[in-house]
């Protein structure tokens, strides 16, 4: 049936091959100008349809048609051209597929699914593969992973490289098919051997992670490189990372930057971030905070939360760009809305200290609670301070103890010093001078001045340790060097002496 349709279409196209030329022309990358013509032959109309929207991975494309990547498709023009091609050659399967793809790009998923269903039932491999993708995503049709797998399999059995890769992914993840990394890799190999870049990338990933094959970093690097050399941006980024870290290849900072640059130039956000980090820290390039900011900004404009937080930090502190805390807070909010920990904690700091906004402790605590839930030690610490001093509602020493303990367990020095103080004084906690001294030492290792005072006090008064006046003087001197005055130290130690006398 398909042969008859194609034969009939070829006859129609051949008979009309000498018709006139263009009225609208638009250049498409790699395919030459797309010509929408009046009175054009069926052959010309099919060609312009191909030029406008052909999928680069469609093995049925004419040899001189490279295809158009999704982001470069002019959907409105492609729809007009492919409707014209189908009007000339009803039932032409490639034109039907191309029209479905154009509608998909245009956002009309139901029309796309209907056209792909027509092609898929007629046995057109690329339509089967794209219909599987629609079922997998639940776009234009109900989400159904088993149906997705079924259509991918039909297409893969016809040798479609895209479908072979997608079957491999389903098997690797155990979605729609029983998980089988070994079988997944066998499909990756079939697709990769057809020079499909995404399958080469997935095969590289399998070797690097030892999924379905024995772990082999060098072999993984080799497959990543094949994909990168075809221009796959995420593979280029991985190659940059491999050269930076020496994974599967000898470290080479210049090569790392070169590959990051290739991927970043394609708009790949993670590569833009890696390049920004390199410029910020002088990794493979000279330190250039301005360039760093610009690359972070490119990634941030694509919605990357980490990049948005980095743009916020640069603007907040004036690193590589004029300082503007108001604009910085806008970027922090964009990032925080995506649950970025750094952005949430930074908004807490801004509201706590009144930086770029008026002081607003309740709002600061709101942001600190979100960051603390993700394990940010500083946010636990500030929540503890607010509870201890009653900045939001009445004082709550139990809540303060809990927050300081959480922060100290996460390695926060100031929190360890505050928690030690509460143990030393026995406020809402068992009086435990030995535990207090351990906490003070942990805080002192992080150069927390309060810990210096408390250790001087402990060794002077024998709180949790034997009295040692020499060590007491050493710790007091550290406190003085850190900015404490004698008057401040005496006040703090006097309170402890008074409590000792009461006890």
Helices (H) and strands (E) in the chain, counts: 26, 2
What is the reported pTM? 0.83
Return the bridge partners of 32, or none.
28
Residue with tokens 């900045």: 391
Q: pLDDT digit string (tens) for 252-299?
A: 999 999 999 999 999 999 999 999 999 999 999 999 999 999 999 999
What is the Cα–Cα distance from 103 to 83, expressed in whole angstroms? Answer: 11
Return all residues near 163 (Cβ < 8 A) that are at least 6 apart.
125, 128, 129, 132, 151, 152, 153, 154, 155, 156
What is the Cα–Cα distance from 368 to 377, expressed in whole angstroms? Answer: 10
pLDDT of 31: 57
CB 288 within 8 A of CB 276: no
Return all residues near 486 (Cβ < 8 A) that are at least 6 apart.
480
pLDDT of 32: 52
Is 84 inside a domain boundary? yes
What is the Cα–Cα distance from 130 to 141, expressed in whole angstroms? Answer: 12
Helix, coil or strand: residue 400: helix
DSSP state of 214: -
* Strands (E) located in 155-238: none
CB 112 within 8 A of CB 100: yes
Residue 75: domain span: 1-142
Helix, coil or strand: residue 25: strand
What is the Cα–Cα distance from 291 to 311, expressed in whole angstroms? Answer: 12
Secondary element (H or E) of residue 32 = strand 32-37
Q: Is 301 exposed, middle or buried (0-12, 13-18, 19+ CB in 10 A)?
A: middle
What is the Cα–Cα distance from 108 to 24, expressed in whole angstroms? Answer: 24
Residue 86 is encoded by which pair of tokens? 């189908």
pLDDT of 29: 52
Is 347 inside a domain boundary? no
Count CB-CB contacts under 10 A for residue 29.
10
CATH of the domain at 114: 1.25.40
Closest listed residue to residue 50, CA positions, set 63, 37, 39, 40: 63
Secondary element (H or E) of residue 52 = helix 42-53
Is 395 inside a domain boundary? no
* Residue positions counted in the chain: 503
Distance of CA 11 to the CA centre of its chain: 51
Residue 305 is encoded by which pair of tokens? 């939360």
Is 244 inside a domain boundary? no
Return the bridge partners of 37, or none.
22
Distances (CA, A) of 349 to 141, 313, 338, 355, 389: 46, 12, 18, 8, 17
Residues of the chain scoring pLDDT < 70: 1-40, 428-429, 495-503
Q: Is 72 exposed, middle or buried (0-12, 13-18, 19+ CB in 10 A)?
A: middle
Query: How many domains is the chain built from?
Result: 1
Angle at 227 (CA atoms; ends 270, 192), nearest 5 degrees = 135
Return the bridge partners of 36, or none.
24
Is 458 inside a domain boundary? no
Is 191 inside a domain boundary? no
Is 12 inside a domain boundary? yes
Is 58 inside a domain boundary? yes
């Amino acid at each position: 049936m398909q042969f008859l349709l194609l034969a009939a279409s070829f006859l129609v196209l051949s008979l009309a091959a000498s018709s006139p030329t263009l009225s609208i022309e638009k250049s498409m990358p790699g395919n030459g100008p797309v010509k929408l013509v009046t009175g054009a032959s069926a052959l010309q109309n099919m060609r312009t349809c191909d030029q406008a929207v052909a999928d680069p991975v469609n093995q049925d494309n004419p040899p001189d048609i490279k295809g158009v990547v999704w982001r470069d498709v002019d959907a409105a023009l492609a729809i007009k051209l492919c409707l014209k091609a189908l009007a000339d050659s009803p039932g032409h399967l490639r034109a039907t597929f191309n029209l479905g793809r154009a509608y998909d790009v245009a956002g009309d998923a139901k029309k796309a699914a209907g056209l792909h269903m027509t092609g898929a039932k007629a046995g057109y491999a690329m339509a089967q593969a794209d219909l599987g993708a629609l079922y997998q995503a639940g776009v234009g049709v109900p989400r159904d992973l088993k149906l997705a797998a079924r259509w991918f399999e039909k297409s893969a059995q016809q040798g479609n490289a895209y479908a072979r890769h997608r079957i491999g992914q389903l098997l690797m993840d155990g979605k729609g098919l029983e998980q089988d990394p070994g079988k997944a890799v066998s499909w990756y190999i079939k697709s990769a051997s057809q020079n499909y870049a995404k399958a080469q990338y997935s095969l590289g990933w399998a070797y690097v992670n030892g999924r379905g094959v024995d772990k082999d970093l060098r072999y993984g690097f080799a497959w990543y490189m094949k994909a990168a050399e075809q221009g796959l941006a995420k593979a280029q980024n991985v190659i940059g990372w491999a050269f930076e870290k020496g994974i599967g290849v000898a470290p080479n900072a210049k090569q790392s930057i070169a590959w990051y640059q290739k991927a970043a130039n394609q708009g790949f956000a993670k590569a833009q971030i890696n390049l920004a980090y390199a410029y910020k820290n002088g990794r493979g390039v000279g330190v250039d905070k301005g360039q760093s900011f610009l690359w972070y900004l490119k990634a941030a404009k694509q919605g990357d939360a980490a990049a948005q937080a980095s743009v916020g930090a640069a603007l907040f502190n004036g690193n590589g760009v004029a300082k503007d805390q108001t604009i910085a807070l806008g970027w922090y909010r964009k990032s925080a809305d995506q649950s970025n920990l750094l952005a949430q904690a930074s908004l807490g700091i801004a509201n706590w200290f009144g930086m770029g906004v008026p002081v607003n402790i309740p709002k600061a605590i709101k942001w600190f609670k979100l960051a603390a839930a993700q394990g940010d030690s500083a946010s636990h610490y500030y929540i503890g301070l607010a509870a201890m001093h009653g900045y939001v509602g009445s004082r709550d020493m139990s809540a303060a103890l809990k927050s300081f303990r959480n922060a100290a367990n996460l390695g926060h020095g100031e929190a360890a010093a505050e928690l030690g103080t509460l143990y030393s004084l026995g406020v809402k906690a068992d009086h435990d001078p030995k535990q207090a001294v351990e906490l003070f030492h942990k805080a002192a290792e992080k150069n927390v001045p309060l810990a210096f005072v408390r250790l001087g006090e402990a060794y002077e008064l024998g709180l949790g340790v034997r009295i040692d006046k020499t060590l007491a003087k050493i710790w007091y001197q550290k406190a003085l060097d850190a900015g404490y005055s004698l008057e401040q130290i005496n006040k703090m130690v006097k309170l402890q002496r008074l409590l000792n006398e009461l006890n």
